[in-house]
Amino acid sequence: MVSKDELLRRWERTVERLFRERVIRTEAVRRAFLKYPRYLFVEKRYRDYAHVDEPLPIPAGQTISAPHMVAIMLELAELGPGMTVLEIGTGSGWNAALIAELVKTDVYTIERIPELVEFARRNLEKAGVENVHVIPGDGTEGFPPKAPYDRIIVTAGAPRVPEPLVEQLKPGGKLLIPVGSYHLWQDLLEVVKLPDGSTETKNHGGVAFVPLIGEHGWRG
């Protein structure tokens, strides 16, 4: 197992490469990546590989996304201080920590798998993140108590855009969600809610996420 200093050096090189390649485009996202390295959010046996730009296993047969994919979604989200954000699919808690650093306020994140609820909470606590609220439940239903949201970010692939998530967006709000097949390929969609309640959708191309299970997603 490599030293903490070496883990950090490797991670910094990954972040700088993503920045040079314009995958990370803004200084805010770059700073968030440096503040919360991915190795803080994986099991010990995978820490030596956390700098590699690929998904890694986490408990319950799920994955932590590759750094480039997380960066792409955060840049598309155009997060800013004070925004109300809901994340669907907490997983390791890493993405929620990055979101919290960008919005500087409370972030709500839904996770259906109890083992991952506890895994994410432990990771966030160890990383010193205090403004992320991990909520057990069906993420396809959203989280009405804190709606409406400026941004909803979904980190699992759905068969279609869940209607409750669109309903819980503010006018002008944005939903980022992979939509497509159960395994392998989906399209990363950006759904913007217009002032009249209708939506406008942009397709940002092919991605690969674990399936979004729930009442308005795939059936488990």
What is the CATH T-level fold of the domain 55-207, as seen in this structure? Rossmann fold (3.40.50)
Determine the average pLDDT of the residues in 163-180: 98
3-state secondary structure of 165: helix
Q: How confident is the model at residue 1 (pLDDT cuts 50, 70, 90)?
A: confident
Chain segment 39-78, per-residue pLDDT in tens: 999 999 999 999 999 999 999 999 999 999 999 999 999 9
Which of 10, 11, 9, 27 lies closest to 19 in space, CA to CA? 27
**89 within 8 A of 67, measured Cβ to Cβ:** no
Determine the average pLDDT of the residues in 125-136: 98
Which of 67, 122, 45 lies closest to 90 in space, CA to CA? 122
Catalytic residue from among 3, 65, 92, 181: 65
User: 65 an active-site residue?
Assistant: yes
Please report which helix (H) or strand (E) contains residue 28, including its range. Answer: helix 27-35
Domain segments of the chain as ranges: 55-207
What are the angstrom distances between the C-alpha of 9 and each of 12, 19, 36, 82?
Answer: 5, 15, 13, 31
Structure tokens that stand for 121 in this block: 């909470």
Q: How confident is the model at residue 102 (pLDDT cuts 50, 70, 90)?
A: very high
Q: What does pTM read for this prediction?
A: 0.97
Query: Other CB atoms closer than 10 Å to residue 190's CB: what's the count?
Result: 17
Determine the average pLDDT of the residues in 146-174: 98
pLDDT for 24 = 98
